A and B are shown apart, each in its own frame.
Chain A
Amino acid sequence: KAGVTQTPRYLIKTRGQQVTLSCSPISGHRSVSWYQQTPGQGLQFLFEYFSETQRNKGNFPGRFSGRQFSNSRSEMNVSTLELGDSALYLCASSHNRIRGGEAFFGQGTRLTVV
């Protein structure tokens, strides 16, 4: 069973540009969540999509957006990149509600903004 796949693994972008990251969840999983990991901040929740609808949203500016397709694959977009957006972006997939169950994470996309 294939795991969660995130592409690309590494990205270097310039301030002001925009970027799109992709996440393919485990087959059969309909929930995809996105997290930003920065040193000293841990993982911070960005948003969650379920059946093509945003179900939850974290406390990030509107420059961060996402979407989910009918095959459950998800993309997140960051517009007008800032230096502080440099981080590891992780996505996690699950069937539906995690509660005490596990979410499966991808390896992440390392974004560097210069």
Chain B
Amino acid sequence: DQQVKQNSPSLSVQEGRISILNCDYTNSMFDYFLWYKKYPAEGPTFLISISSIKDKNEDGRFTVFLNKSAKHLSLHIVPSQPGDSAVYFCAANGETGANNLFFGTGTRLTVIP
């Protein structure tokens, strides 16, 4: 049973525009949500995270929004750059203190120059 879902397998955006990647979850006990980026032939790299007690976290061009009532989070990238083209995974940290991350299936972002 997939507790973290990314329903869009792919997204294409023009360079300079905003990219919005979406993620839904089912388990209300998750206390942290994370975004990872993955290039081909590399392992995922951490991008940004948000605590369940916040609704927004910003780091440079990347902002994550959390809507707990809807069990939904999104990653905004502004402005999008060709180097942002990668697969983005949404992940959630499970029971308090545990290190098992629950991942979505990923969204492939293509930024068109």
Q: Do A and B come from one complex?
A: yes
Interface residues of A, Cβ cutoff 8 Å to B:
4, 31, 33, 35, 40-45, 48, 50, 55-56, 58, 90, 92, 94, 97-108
Enumerate the 8 nearest inter-chain pairs by beta-carbon distance, A residue then B residue, closest first.
Answer: A105-B43, A102-B46, A43-B103, A100-B49, A42-B105, A100-B32, A45-B100, A42-B103
Interface residues on B, range: 20 to 34
Any A CB within 8 A of the CB of B97: yes
Q: CB distance A31 to B99 under 8 Å? A: yes
Interface residues of B, Cβ cutoff 8 Å to A:
2, 4, 6, 31-32, 34, 36, 41-46, 49-51, 89, 91, 93, 97-106
Interchain Cβ contacts within 8 Å, total number:
75
Q: CB distance B102 to A45 under 8 Å? A: yes
Chain A residues within 8 Å of B100, by CB:
33, 45, 48, 56, 58
